Amino acid sequence: DDKILAASAKHPIVPLPAGSLYKYGTAGFRMSSDLLEGVTFRVGLIAALRSRKLGGAAIGVMITASHNPAQDNGVKVVDPMGEMLEQEWETYSTRLVNSPSDKELLETYHALATQLKIDLKTPAKVVYGRDTRPSGHTLVAALASAFEATGTEYVDYKILTTPQLHYLTRATNTEGTPEAYGEVSEAGYYKKFADAFVHALKGRKIKGTLTVDCANGVGGPKLNEFLKYIPKDQVPFDVKVVNDDVLRPEVLNLDSGADYVKTKQRAPPHPKPEAGARCCSLDGDADRLMYYWTDAETGFFMLDGDRIATLAASFIADLARSAGIEDDLRIGVVQTAYANGASTKYIQENLRLPVVCTPTGVKHLHHAACSFDVGVYFEANGHGTVLFSNDAMATFRNKEPQSPAQKDALETLSAVGNLINQTVGDAISDMLLVEVILAHKDWSLRDWANTYSDLPNRLVRVEVGDKDLFETTDAERRLSKPQGAQGEIDALVKKYTNARSFARASGTENACRVYAEAATRAEADELAKKVAVVVE
Ligand code: 16G
Ligand code: ZN
């Protein structure tokens, strides 16, 4: 106990103005980095408790603020199989982090241990990493301090992408078991995905050059490292890595990256994209992906998370048919309210696959995807992955093929299952998947874009006095509070063709977001504006 008190004194919590609390939100604790040292120390205590609660299973901690500006940072906890921290523990984290003094911190720590029946003598293990933000140094030192003070074993993996930390957490916990996820090292990550990439291509050629904008974040150096693991003589893969400067923190996420592309609906200005070139952008911690091209005829065209989901689902469903296992394999797609209505319609009517809608946030989508044998989940913002059940993977491996075509399809399914990061959305792994699918279909980005037409849409951010007044139901598609607001939105939507609109409180900022889509650009803009007025 003395150790915890002494360590906590070295990483003091910054008191917030009366009435506000630190909150474990959809992306953990995320804010200006100068508020985070004490928070991170306390998250270290939570991670140690969580590991002890789970009998010493390794817990992951990631220090990143993704697409936020360089001066922000964040800290989040990863459960043993690489999933997001169990929801109830978000509340425990919030409680512990907001303890007003070192002494009360210690009391809350013990109260949680008692409440959750945690034996503090159980061994504990935590693995952690950080993105390239300079503030990460201080924050990992605070974590290490919490682990020293609680006798917790820890491994500092230094600089990683968020999905790499998820990979390492799962690999650590499955090492030596039949479910072993891969070698427990950063190199293990590269080997696993490079190997799956080569297998999934099955000799198909990737055409042209792919330009990858890395938002000047951790994805740059990691993608460069990954590319060394691809046997270029067997698999030519021409990648031009741009915006990979991690030495100047001020350029992180600046006019680049997946979030910039999605929210501004334009290509990063630097370097100027070549006309028609196949481009994609990762975000600051490499867990989101956007594809796009620009040419004189089309202007800018973006292929977002909805497009990746439809591409992956159609590819996997076709393979399941070729492999003769379509009746044994329940394939489904999970989306949020932000998914373009045209994508939902395409999945249901053309691909004839079920769609589930969940609230925003990876943990909700991930959870829903687990109920399928193959669960494809993507947020429109480019975060997502495809989950394969153990049964599905076993079917691909063990089913006796009746023809060379079936054999080929089963092998490809198996490789695709290995290629997609099973722990969390991973921009590098998703990008490899897209490249594989385009190579198999011999498609350009334009062919991919031609599968369906998006409904014009608009997303606006609305400043509100208190975002907590806004409560939603029906996977955030309807407001239950404030009273009457949904009625007003419904009345507005009715006036437009093919229209849909919803408002929800942001989980990461003190604001509301309004989304609207309609048959034309002008109508979508107008509807969004009017709904914003209802919310203001
Ligand atoms: C977080 C979520 C992301 C979601 C975004 C929405 C995770 C790991 N991240 O970044 O999935 O799209 O929040 O933000 O769950 P908002 O609530 O501010 O709209
Ligand atoms: Zn991110």
Question: Is the confidence at residue 80, as pLDDT, over 90?
Answer: yes
**Ligand 1: distance of its center to the CA of 303 in Å?**
19
Residues with Cβ within 8 Å of 223's Cβ and at least 6 positions away in sequence, in order, are: 212, 214, 239, 241, 244, 282, 286, 428
- Specify whether the CB–CB gap between 331 and 317 falls below 8 A: yes
Question: Is the confidence at residue 269, as pLDDT, over 90?
Answer: yes
pLDDT confidence of 175, banded at 50, 70, 90?
Answer: very high
Residue extent(s) of CATH 3.30.310.50 domains in the chain: 457-535
Which mutation among 24, 26, 362 tests ligand 1's pocket best, with the greatest number of atoms within 8 A of CB? 26
Residues with Cβ within 8 Å of 160's Cβ and at least 6 positions away in sequence, in order, are: 62, 129, 130, 131, 168, 186, 218, 222
Q: Which ligand is nearest to the CA of 67?
A: 2
The torsion defined by the Cα of 28, 31, 36 and 38, in degrees rounded to 10, comes to -70
- Specify whether the CB–CB gap between 243 and 367 falls below 8 A: no
pLDDT confidence of 26, banded at 50, 70, 90?
Answer: confident
Catalytic residues: 66
Question: How many angstroms separate the CA atoms of 300 and 305, rounded?
Answer: 16
What is the average per-residue pLDDT within 230-248?
Answer: 95
Cα separation values, 152 from 47, 57, 83, 357, Å: 9, 11, 21, 39
| Fold assignment, 457-535 | TATA-Binding Protein (3.30.310)
Q: Which residues of 442-463 are buried (b: 16+ CB within 10 A; e: fewer)?
A: ebebeebbebbebbbbbbbebe
Atom of ligand 1 nearest to the CA of 287: 8
For the stretch 329-343, pLDDT in tens is: 999 999 999 999 999
Q: Which two tokens stand for residue 292?
A: 């796009």
Q: Is the CB of 425 under 6 A from ligand 1?
A: no
**Ligand 2: distance of its center to the CA of 429 in Å?**
14
Question: How many angstroms separate the CA atoms of 363 and 86, rounded?
Answer: 9
**Ligand 1: distance of its center to the CA of 383 in Å?**
9
pLDDT confidence of 301, banded at 50, 70, 90?
Answer: very high
Question: Is the confidence at residue 213, as pLDDT, over 90?
Answer: yes
3-state secondary structure of 187: helix
305-449 in CATH: which number?
Answer: 3.40.120.10
pLDDT confidence of 282, banded at 50, 70, 90?
Answer: very high
pLDDT confidence of 427, banded at 50, 70, 90?
Answer: very high
**Ligand 2: distance of its center to the CA of 66 in Å?**
4
Q: Which CATH architecture has domain 189-300?
A: 3-Layer(aba) Sandwich (3.40)
Name which of 117, 148, 121 is nearest 56 in CA terms. Answer: 121
Average pLDDT, the chain: 97
Q: Is the CB of 27 under 6 A from ligand 1?
A: yes
Q: Is the CB of 65 under 6 A from ligand 1?
A: no
Atom of ligand 1 nearest to the CA of 511: 18
The torsion defined by the Cα of 293, 508, 478 and 88, in degrees rounded to 10, comes to 120
Atom of ligand 1 nearest to the CA of 84: 8
Q: Which CATH architecture has domain 2-159?
A: 3-Layer(aba) Sandwich (3.40)
For the stretch 367-413, pLDDT in tens is: 999 999 999 999 999 999 999 999 999 999 999 999 999 999 999 99
Residue type, 126: V
- Specify whether the CB–CB gap between 422 and 167 falls below 8 A: no
User: What does the pLDDT read at residue 509?
Assistant: 82
Look at the block and give the residue holding tokens 């063990």.
398
Question: How many angstroms separate the CA atoms of 152 and 69, rounded?
Answer: 32
Query: For 454, phi and psi rounded to 5 degrees?
Result: -65, 145
Q: Which two tokens stand for residue 482?
A: 């404030």
Longest dimension (CA), the chain: 70
For the stretch 305-330, pLDDT in tens is: 999 999 999 999 999 999 999 999 99
Question: How many angstroms separate the CA atoms of 360 and 365, rounded?
Answer: 8
Residue extent(s) of CATH 3.40.120.10 domains in the chain: 2-159, 189-300, 305-449
For the stretch 488-520, pLDDT in tens is: 999 999 999 999 999 999 988 889 999 999 999
What is the average per-residue pLDDT within 434-459?
Answer: 97
For the stretch 110-145, pLDDT in tens is: 999 999 999 999 999 999 999 999 999 999 999 999
User: Which residues sit opposite 62 in a β-bridge?
Assistant: 76, 129
Q: Which ligand is nearest to the CA of 262?
A: 1
Q: Which two tokens stand for residue 460?
A: 């606006």
User: What does the pLDDT read at residue 476?
Assistant: 97
Question: Is the confidence at residue 273, as pLDDT, over 90?
Answer: no
Q: Is the CB of 508 under 6 A from ligand 1?
A: yes
**Ligand 1: distance of its center to the CA of 425 in Å?**
12
- DSSP summary character for residue 30: E
Name which of 263, 258, 256 is nearest 383 in CA terms. Answer: 258
Question: How many angstroms separate the CA atoms of 50 and 78, rounded?
Answer: 10
